[in-house]
Amino acid sequence: MKFSSLLSNALLASNILLSSSFQSSSNRIQIKPSLSQQGNKQIRKSLHNNVFSSQSTKLQMSNNNFNLSKPTFDLFSLRSIRNDALLQYSSLNQSEPLRINLYLVLSISLFSFPTLSEAVIGEVAQLPAVAASILAGIGSVALFVNECNNRSKQLSRIEKELNAEFLKFKLSTTNKFDERMYAQQPTISLKDVRGNRRVLAVSGPTEKLKQVALELRVFRNRLAQAQTVVLIVPTDTEEEVVNLEQLGVKTQDIRSAQWCGQAQDVSQWKEYFTNLVSDSSKDLSKDDLIWFGLNYNGRSFASGSGDAPRLIELLGRNLRPVDLLDETDDAESTAGMKEAEVEVFESVLKSQAKFYKALTTGDLESMNSICNNNRVQEVTEILDAGGRVDDWKACLAEGARPAGMKTSGSDVLVVSETLAFSTCIEFPADTGGYNDPFGATLLAMQRWTRDNDKEEWNLEFHQTIPWSSSTRAGGTLRCDCRGCVALTRGEEKRTFGGLFG
């Protein structure tokens, strides 16, 4: 007997098995005579009156009868899973459950081929046919197991996202004259801000969180423009409410925009982060940072551990602006600052303006005088990985520099007398290497240093990235005294991996 005839016999037996099962199911269906058209109208009218005119009928939700978060046992995952996670999975995946069932039926049919062949066809299956059916059955089982593993991974990710919805926090007050930033604010959960705000949460030891908080403070106004709330959770505290001042976040930073939330019930936050780590295959220590981000729908857009998130890249890819960006936007207000603070603030803006004048006009001499001689790690790591740096002479050449580019919405963070940061929105003209083909707005950040408060600020590091509401950033540019290196976006993935999967 040829292999093709053996395979056709196996498929014939499988079809007979399926058709017999469908026939037995249809035999149990009882066919009732249809109602008359007049009877149908009367029944529909009666149902309409009972449903819509009755005021006493109410939905009872006691005893968790309608609790969608209640776990139920999933046969394909062999564990209990939240009902709402299963519902969300089913709505997002139409073909995967079908493939799982088809592979299961095919596996059973192939392994049952010897019995089916004798019972249905009346012939004893030959050894080659039995061997072929077993091998095909093993392959079908492998496909079935692979689909089940994919299903389990997706359900685990969805469950982690849904479990975060119960975490509590407070948003800062919008009243500029209220000294108590959080005291009078209601406690809400992440579920309450779904559809209105994105979320970025970071956990770790206090000393490491201080450095993370510094970068968050630099982009505080940009986070507000992206409608993102940041939550910082220290793991080495016993307090149930996070003290943001201990992390270096000042009241003035919080008052500038509603971007920083105050985590409540810190023990629950720490337990959630611990579960994220325990579910991952990464070997982490208690001193490592853990972070995750959620979009408007409560879905994870990124997560990670060990290193802090690169905030400006997250802004360009996932936390894009919601507020309108315009060339006429004013610089950050200095209201409420002391005279000495205003003086330092304006000195940083003056250095920023000098930098952009040299950049847009191609003034190499001024650019060299603005930049200090520090070779920053952000550029060095790209060169060590095989990247190429274009010196400032090449960057400022005709046709390469962003001639005619405008900036607006500048803000400043003064960390000390010798360290400051500034950000702004760039609006390139239709020429120059800075032009973004998908949208003419970019987010830029500068880091400034000086030896003492008597000297002018010098540029240590500059980074810019496309930042528009319609498209993700296609790359980023990092610059120091050596020039600029460009990074391009890699291939898009279905998920970002990390701790959520």
CA 34/CA 400 separation, integer angstroms: 78
Helix, strand, or coil here: 231? strand
DSSP 427: E
Task: Let me know how many helices (H) and strands (E) the chain has, helices first.
Answer: 15, 15
pLDDT tens readout for residues 61-93: 334 455 666 777 877 777 777 777 777 777 777
Q: Quick one: CATH architecture of 339-488?
A: Roll (3.10)
Query: DSSP letters along 176-189, please?
Result: TT-S-SSTTSPPEE
Q: Which residues pair with 477 in a beta bridge?
A: 464, 486
Strand 228-234, strand 260-263: pairing: parallel
Q: How many CB atoms lie within 10 A of CB 180?
A: 11
pLDDT score, position 458: 96
Task: Provide the pairing of β-strand 168-170 with 188-189.
Answer: antiparallel
**Options 3.30.930.10, 3.40.30.10, 3.30.70.580, 3.40.50.10800; which CATH number does 167-317 get?**
3.40.30.10
Q: What is the domain partition of the chain in residue ranges?
A: 1-16+68-165, 167-317, 339-488
**pLDDT, position 161:** 81
Dihedrals phi, psi of 82, to nearest 5 degrees? -60, 140
213 vs 37, higher pLDDT: 213
pLDDT at res. 450: 96
Lowest mean pLDDT among 12-21, 188-197, 271-280: 12-21
Query: What pLDDT is stored for residue 430 in this prediction?
Result: 66
- Over residues 148-176, mean pLDDT: 85
Predicted confidence (pLDDT) per residue in 352-392, tens digit: 999 999 999 999 999 999 999 999 999 999 999 999 999 99
Total residues found in the chain within this entry: 501
d(CA 268, CA 8): 59
Q: Which residue has the higher pLDDT, 126 or 468?
A: 468
In this predicted structure, the answer to whether residue 279 has a pLDDT above a threshold of 70 is no
**pLDDT tens track for 217-242:** 999 999 999 999 999 999 988 888 99
Q: 16-30, 174-188, 351-365: which range is least confident on average?
A: 16-30
Token pair for residue 302? 């990124």
Averaged pLDDT, 486-490: 78
Q: Which helix (H) or strand (E) holds 462?
A: strand 458-466
The single residue listed with the structure tokens 């006691």 is 62
Rounded to whole angstroms, the Cα distance separating 201 from 164 reads 10
pLDDT mean across residues, the chain:
81
Residue predicted with more confidence, 140 or 176: 140
Q: Is 175 exposed, middle or buried (0-12, 13-18, 19+ CB in 10 A)?
A: exposed
Strand partners, 71: 82
Per the CB < 8 A criterion, the answer to whether 354 and 370 are in contact is yes
- Token representation of residue 103: 């592979």
